[in-house]
Structure 1
């Protein structure tokens, strides 16, 4: 049915009725589909004296054409009915469908990258890679797992700063994720569900004598400033060394413990630390695969610890 024909239909006087067959002919919608729409409450109709369905011609045609066009774009009847009833605008319905499609596309891209990650792995490693990736088929669950991992470690941190930390260490995947990034997410998820890794990470962040910290909030708010001044040195591949950057890091720990920065204190920051735990290094390497060229918190942390070893 052309737009000109549609315009002619609109010009017909109100009150004209058509049979279901005529309605099908004018709109191109099969009779069986029209019956389904009637039974679903999408189309209004009356019964003739002979018991046949009859429809108000202008209203029924306009309504049925709108349904057909929206269905062609993939909208469900559940989304279409509010538009027909006037409780939702056409723009809102289309925007909601587009948003749902974006989510679906993100899911498909994640699955595609995961399949490529298995396909590109050496033959002998494919079963292990498949097992790893099967555990993270839901990308939303990955974020929840990592949040649950860090929340008790950074417990004193205010909500806004905690969210900023998560965003920095686990940014959203790009629209076209690389298979290596999906594998990195899977690695992080596996590590984040290990309570021993969580304990080791807490010890790395708070250092070995974390029980003696009197002001955790101060430490967690002071450390980011120390990390910020070290980041350019890591980016430039500067060799870890003593200096103002390390002093700022140590001072944050000393202040939080109500102690002075002394050689003995610096040695204590290294005693019993978990920095060489291979699982923590895997965690930060996986994070680096996701964050890209920017230095990760782990890279900054290891630079500071290596500089601390020089002085201690």
Structure 2
């Protein structure tokens, strides 16, 4: 092979692996112009045309569109520039496919209806900026732009759920549930009521009345019970609850009976709401944070345990 050799379309096809029809198309489109023609009028191509065709085939197999290929051949773009841009596009396609796979897994696992599937797809297709705006609208709508406690709002913004590009099935399901939750006005009211306690900006009346020593003991016992996997309504929970109730009754000069247990549950329930607790757990999942048992609201466990033990006591 040398620079003076001319090749027919058939020979180019054998050397490049491209079909005769494809080479003819590229020739008609001006991608690879014939160098000459045979006496019978057939197109002939030189070595440069062969090399151009091999480059065209390589770039096309990498998914680069023909218009961009032509710009490379005209030296308007370098192969490196095209490769970098195309790599970014491929990364985006990969992220989209991963997210789509996660959505499909959620649909398959939950047996979602067509309406739920459409909603899930729409919510996960939001851009990162659109997802952040959704949460910003929730915070502004819940606390207002000026009336909310700055520390509380700052805590909530610091924990903004951010769905990663390579989200797992669990993260997609958590994000969809969160997105639906933050648009619910009832949930916003619940968040307004309890957020101050979660941010540590307010204390319960019962905490002030019981004193720091008893509250520290209570939090320790509740954390130990939660970390041990003790269910609040189980038999294993009864000794924990009875001990705490007895200590509160002694400090508050009350009888540890069913009425006192109900009153105590009401006091602790002021800072607890199952949907707000669920919000925080979903945020942890979406952000890929470890769900630390000691950070799960301790009083929620105690309130439920008290509800299952009101027949106890004197």
State the TM-score, normalizing by the size of structure 1.
Answer: 0.55
Report if the CA contact (8 A) 1:132-1:186 is conserved.
no
* Aligned mate of 1:108, from 85, 97, 114: 97
Name the CA shift for 1:200/1:36 in 2 (closer, same or farther; >3 Å).
farther
- Answering whether residue 74 of structure 2 is matched by residue 85 of structure 1, we say yes
Displacement after TM superposition at 1:202 (Å): 5.7
* Aligned mate of 1:65, from 29, 45, 54: 54
State the SS of the aligned residue for 2:121: coil
State the SS of the aligned residue for 2:24: helix
**Higher-Rg member (1/2):** 2
Q: Determine the structure 2 residue equivalent to 1:169.
A: 160
Name the CA shift for 1:79/1:202 in 2 (closer, same or farther; >3 Å).
farther
Q: Determine the structure 1 residue equivalent to 2:178.
A: 188
Q: Determine the structure 2 residue equivalent to 1:284.
A: 280
Report if the CA contact (8 A) 1:146-1:188 is conserved.
no
Displacement after TM superposition at 1:62 (Å): 0.8
* Aligned mate of 2:134, from 145, 148, 151: 148
Report if the CA contact (8 A) 1:45-1:53 is conserved.
no
Q: Determine the structure 2 residue equivalent to 1:127.
A: 112
Displacement after TM superposition at 1:58 (Å): 1.9
Displacement after TM superposition at 1:303 (Å): 7.8
Displacement after TM superposition at 1:151 (Å): 4.2
Report if the CA contact (8 A) 2:163-2:287 is conserved.
no
Q: Deviations over 1:258-280 (max 9, x none)?
A: xxxxxxxxxxxxxxxx9655543
**C-alpha root-mean-square deviation of aligned residues, in Å?**
4.4
Report if the CA contact (8 A) 2:194-2:273 is conserved.
no
Gaps of 5+ in 1: 1-7, 208-219, 224-236, 241-273, 305-312
Q: Deviations over 1:122-156 (max 9, x none)?
A: xxxx235x644532325341641442331473557
Displacement after TM superposition at 1:205 (Å): 5.3
